Structure 1
Amino acid sequence: MFSGSIPALVTPFDRDGGFDERAYRDLIEWQIAEGSTALVPCGTTGEAATLTQDEQFAIVRLCVDQARGRVPVIAGAGSNDTRVAAANLRAAKEAGADAALMVPPYYNRPSQEGIFRHFEALAQHAPLPIVLYNVPARTVTDIQPETLVRIVAAFPRLFVAVKDASGILQRVSQHRAALGNDFCQLSGNDDLALAFNAMGGVGCISVTANVAPRLSADFQQACAAGDAAKALALHDRLFPLHAALFSDASPGPVKYAMTRVRPGFPEGLRLPMTWPGETSRAAVDAALAHAAL
């Protein structure tokens, strides 16, 4: 259902924390023009944790409006409360999203059975397809391969993909062996996307694509075409940027990078996120120079 370079969009805020609609619309236009194949509003990189529910789905609605059907919109909609997650799914559908990106419950730390029951409950009335998002470094909850297979096998038409940010590459093969080549596996780690695709992945929900959408799209196209030499060259060109964008608390570095490649891009973040430190900014500048950006 999804493939290629899919930016986890930053949310532009002014210095007072207000949402900048014009900057967001411009960002979406640039992403589509540069070859991004889908858009993810209000994910982790979009600072969803600091948005009210009304703000979150107003931003999703705006993203859908600006995309105008040219690429799919996958709305960040997860929650650690199953009832809230169900309400978020309905709100994402009402906002016009094509799918929802859903983390397992964070902070609560449910068992694997609890993770399955959470998604089982969501499946009962889910109004749109779900991309499972496994990011244990943030949620402290890891969807083990056996659990993911159990979820997808129980509801194959609903759970259509995984964004895997576990960093455990062997899971690509484990998931593929159990669910087949047609199950959509997307990397959640830019720095591992080359190896992830080589093992059967079909794309990346990307932080770096915010800053380098054309290079990220070209990289994914090279992978899909089996052009290993071109894919490796683009990977090497982007690799320092992948690292630099996590040289301080994300999304601070990527927002700084946006001001470098898109002059006038708003500089705001919402607390507790802060502007990256001097060392991080220097790393971003060096990485942008390495990538010829």
Structure 2
Amino acid sequence: MLEFDRKDAKAWALKKLTGFYQCPISPVKDGKMDEEALRYNVEKFIDVGIDGLVIGGFISECWSLTLSDWYRYHEIVADVAKGRLPLWTIILDPSVHQAIEKMNHVEKLGFEGAEVINPVVQLRTDDEIFDWFKYLTDRSNLAVCLYRTPVSGKVLGFDLMRRLADLDTCVAVKQGSLSRAETLKLRHDLRKDFIVSDPSEAVFLEDLRVGGQICWGEISYLAYGKKRTLIDQYRALAAQGKWEEARAVSVQLDPVREFLGEILLWEIVRTATYAGAVASVKVWFEALGFKAGGMIPPVRPVSDERAEYIRAKVKELGLV
């Protein structure tokens, strides 16, 4: 059962959604999801201490699953988690009817929300997109985090964002346009009980200082390995208002951030997709002790030379 009613979803989110909600890779064996390895990873994610898990999207290769496998994936995660951490799904469907079906299914499994991309095909005008989300939120009780990204084919405009933020169960936006200025403008312009998250650990300390509260839908806390303790340290110092001390800790992560940019962020910018970057991220995660395996076909794995470079860099950076 959800912890909130529709009318108080935003107030609930302001209290609940803090810290690092992570989008992890998924283990693959022989071209299919590896259920045993997935169970192992979820336990390991919980042990690491992430604040929430966001699954079903690009990084997890769930865009490449059959519908039955998508449902099975969520059922396994819910079965392992057993209420020990918040669970959110990611909805990438252009069909609002399929999106609603998925959301209603995972609500029964104990998921509390869904990150939802605007429909990638057909609907392009502000009115069309608003009507799509209005229809969706009228028929699902889950909290919704909008996904504002050029990967969708249309970045949600500021006027449309104001309209969407007024929908009862729309509680947040993952501001994935990679523009810091737009993040700050949205936070300034939108209603104050609506969360705007910049999905980048590199600016999270600054975000904490200027009104942010959550680093949503990325991989840093998992990917940083042994260096994630530096995140814990700067967050603790920030909570005490010791901003300069927090910054001195934060800058120690700059080499890791640079590597994450090389492996993931700039590859997404270059290709406008996640597909080409996930294979490299999986090598990184496996070097940290998570289960990763190959890629779901037809996406190719990285070359042996590239994989060796990533493993060596992970070790050089002191992440293992």
Displacement of 1:144 after TM fit? 1.5
- Which residue of the partner structure matches residue 7 of structure 1? 22
Distance in 2 (alpha carbons) for counterparts of 1:193 and 1:220: 12
Displacement of 1:77 after TM fit? 2.2
Moved over 6 A (4+): none
Aligned with 2:263 (options 245, 264, 287):
245
Distance in 2 (alpha carbons) for counterparts of 1:4 and 1:126: 25
User: Cα 1:261–1:213, aligned 2, differ >3 Å: closer, same or farther?
Assistant: closer
User: Superposition RMSD on alpha carbons, in Å?
Assistant: 2.5
Aligned with 1:77 (options 86, 91, 116):
91
Higher mean alpha-carbon deviation, 96-105 vs 215-224, is at: 215-224
State the AA in 2 paired with 1:209.
Y
State the AA in 1 paired with 2:23.
A
Aligned with 2:49 (options 35, 40, 43):
35
Deviations 1:137-174 (A, max 9, x none): x2212112221221111x23x01111111111122222
Displacement of 1:214 after TM fit? 6.2
Distance in 1 (alpha carbons) for counterparts of 2:229 and 2:188: 27
Structure 1 segment 42-57 matched on structure 2, within 5 A:
42-57=56-71
Does residue 58 (structure 1) correspond to residue 72 (structure 2)? The answer is yes
Does residue 200 (structure 1) correspond to residue 211 (structure 2)? The answer is yes
Distance in 2 (alpha carbons) for counterparts of 1:143 and 1:215: 35
User: What is the number of equivalent residue pairs in this alignment?
Assistant: 288
Distance in 2 (alpha carbons) for counterparts of 1:250 and 1:76: 18
Unaligned stretches of 5+ residues in structure 2: 1-12, 268-275
Higher mean alpha-carbon deviation, 46-55 vs 268-277, is at: 268-277
Deviations 1:114-158 (A, max 9, x none): 22111011121112111111221x2212112221221111x23x0
User: Cα 1:272–1:288, aligned 2, differ >3 Å: closer, same or farther?
Assistant: farther
- Which residue of the partner structure matches residue 176 of structure 1? 187
User: Cα 1:27–1:54, aligned 2, differ >3 Å: closer, same or farther?
Assistant: same
Deviations 1:166-214 (A, max 9, x none): 1111222222223344422222344554555454332222123343366
Q: Is the partner of 2:32 in helix, strand or coil?
A: coil
1:164–1:188: 8 Å Cα contact kept in structure 2? yes
Aligned with 1:148 (options 161, 174, 179):
161
Q: Is the partner of 1:250 in helix, strand or coil?
A: helix
TM-score, length basis structure 2: 0.80
Higher mean alpha-carbon deviation, 78-87 vs 183-192, is at: 183-192
Aligned with 2:100 (options 73, 86, 89):
86
Q: Percent identity?
A: 20
User: Cα 1:54–1:181, aligned 2, differ >3 Å: closer, same or farther?
Assistant: same
State the AA in 2 paired with 1:22.
E
- Which residue of the partner structure matches residue 274 of structure 1? 300
Distance in 1 (alpha carbons) for counterparts of 2:177 and 2:210: 15
1:238–1:291: 8 Å Cα contact kept in structure 2? no
Higher mean alpha-carbon deviation, 180-189 vs 253-262, is at: 180-189
Distance in 2 (alpha carbons) for counterparts of 1:285 and 1:111: 47
Is the radius of gyration larger for structure 1 or structure 2?
A: 2
- Which residue of the partner structure matches residue 281 of structure 2? 254
TM-score, length basis structure 1: 0.87
State the AA in 2 paired with 1:108.
Q
Structure 1 segment 154-169 matched on structure 2, within 5 A:
155-156=167-168, 158-169=169-180
Q: Is the partner of 1:245 in helix, strand or coil?
A: helix
Q: Is the partner of 2:103 in helix, strand or coil?
A: helix
1:207–1:254: 8 Å Cα contact kept in structure 2? no
2:28–2:34: 8 Å Cα contact kept in structure 1? yes
User: Cα 1:10–1:191, aligned 2, differ >3 Å: closer, same or farther?
Assistant: same
Distance in 2 (alpha carbons) for counterparts of 1:280 and 1:194: 31
Unaligned stretches of 5+ residues in structure 1: none
2:83–2:110: 8 Å Cα contact kept in structure 1? no
More helix by percentage = 2
Distance in 1 (alpha carbons) for counterparts of 2:50 and 2:131: 34
